[in-house]
Amino acid sequence: MKLLITGGVGFIGSNFVRYMLQNYPEYEVVNLDALTYAGNLENLKGLENNPNYTFVKADITDRATVETLFKKENFDTVVNFAAESHVDRSINNPDVFVSTNIMGTQVLLDTAKKYGIQKYVQVSTDEVYGSLGGDGSFTENTPIAPNSPYSASKASADLLVRSYYKTYNFPINITRCSNNYGPYQFPEKLIPLMLNNVRENRPIPIYGDGQNVRDWIYVEDHSRAVDRVLHDGIPGEIYNIGSNNEHSNLEMAKMLLNLMDAPESLITFVPDRKGHDFRYAIDASKIRNELGWEAEYSFETGLKETVNWYLNNLDWLNHVVSGDYRNYYKTYYSR
């Protein structure tokens, strides 16, 4: 199989690239990524000489380049991870979210349809469903009701993907996963941001009262789920992905501080995110029952491995937080 992975240099995409090369040594993988601030080639160190792996620096919104690549490579399948992925950035600058997440997806869909792709998987998010109250969980039938420019752009992309199935019978799947954590996550997201601040003995910023709840999944469990959908997902179907690990942000901060032997006094409450979704929780019974997927990581194991990974890879962290990251942090957290 010849597989195009877009956004494969980012946090989850790079995990999926490694996962596929390891588990399917007969597959050829082409990774197309624009190398934005979130795309760090150090995430894929060690793959440079793998004969089944090719990296192409390109933007999914660049139709001519995308088309040339499809013409040349004769792909069988496509998995689209490429996106602007950070909610806070989308609040300050929605334009690029519309461009990459919506228009980029349409370029990929058009091109994939034109070149007879056998399966197109759109990697989406539980955030398209909006926010839950104190109980219940999102199923694939929950109406979409996105609340941030990020989730609105992902929901729009999902609707386009769906329309290519309904209109052209183009074989798509959409996956909607909960909050990922694990190695190589950019430290703008909650867990690596806290980890980086703790190791520098700096306060950790918790939005509002810290009672907002997220449902956490270890990144490799997400990759295994996308693999199941790529191979056995029924065309046109949506699959939720999650592993029943709900924690408030405050609980999460305390767990991390405890694991790192740091004092709870580092927790600092800061002004809330605008339009902050209260709670996400995923019902993943469809992918479990229909495709036989199960999460393998307990939250305790996954979080310990993540903390150890960051502490053992300080070079990676130091490179990532140098330069632009410091400007972003300073501007955003001094609101």
Task: Give the helix ranges, DSSP H, for 135-211.
Answer: 149-168, 190-199
**Helix (H, G, I), strand (E, B), or coil: what is residue 44?**
helix
* Residue of 59, 126, 158, 220 with catalytic role: 126
For ligand NAD, what does the binding mask look like between residues 119 and 158, x meaning CB under 6 A? ----x-x----------------------------x----
Nearer to ligand NAD, 35 or 262 (CB): 35
Question: Is position 126 annotated as part of the catalytic site?
Answer: yes
Q: What is the number of other CB atoms lying within 10 angstroms of the CB of residue 110?
A: 16
Does 11 contact ligand NAD by CB under 6 A? yes
As a whole number of angstroms, the distance between CA 113 and CA 146 comes to 27
Q: Which of residues 27-86 bind ligand NAD (CB under 6 A)?
A: 33-36, 38-39, 59-61, 81-85
For ligand TDX, what does the binding mask look like between residues 260 and 299, x meaning CB under 6 A? -------------x--------------------------
198 binds, among ligand TDX, ligand NAD, none (CB under 5 to 8 A by kind): none
Nearer to ligand TDX, 18 or 214 (CB): 214
As a whole number of angstroms, the distance between CA 24 and CA 7 comes to 19
User: Per CB under 6 A, which region of 28-36, 83-91, 115-123, 291-299 contacts ligand TDX?
Assistant: 83-91
**Binder among 4, 10, 78, 144 for ligand NAD (CB under 6 A):** 10
Q: Which of residues 23-42 bind ligand TDX (CB under 6 A)?
A: none
Question: Is position 168 annotated as part of the catalytic site?
Answer: no
* Residue of 28, 59, 84, 127 with catalytic role: 127
Beta-bridge partner residues of 263: none
Q: How far apart are the first and last CA of the chain?
A: 49
**DSSP tally for the chain: helices H, then strands E:** 13, 12
The residue number whose beta carbon is nearest to ligand TDX equals 125
Question: Smallest gap, in angstroms, from Cβ of residue 176 to ligand TDX?
Answer: 9
Closest by CA to 270, choosing from 227, 210, 230, 319, is 210
Per the rule left: phi > 0, alpha: psi between -120 and 50, beta: everything else, 147 is alpha
- Token pair of 16, please? 């999926």
DSSP state, residue 234: P
Residue 313 burial class via C-beta count within 10 angstroms: exposed 0-12, middle 13-18, buried 19 and up: middle
Does 86 contact ligand TDX by CB under 6 A? yes
Closest by CA to 29, choosing from 10, 59, 50, is 50
Q: Do 274 and 211 contact (CB within 8 A), yes or no?
A: no
| Contacts to ligand NAD by CB under 6 A | 6-7, 9-13, 33-36, 38-39, 59-61, 81-85, 100, 104, 123, 125, 154, 177, 179-180, 186
**Residues annotated catalytic, as ranges:** 126-127, 150
Q: Which residues sit at the interface with ligand TDX, rule CB under 6 A?
A: 85-87, 125, 127, 179, 189-190, 193, 205-207, 212, 214, 249, 273
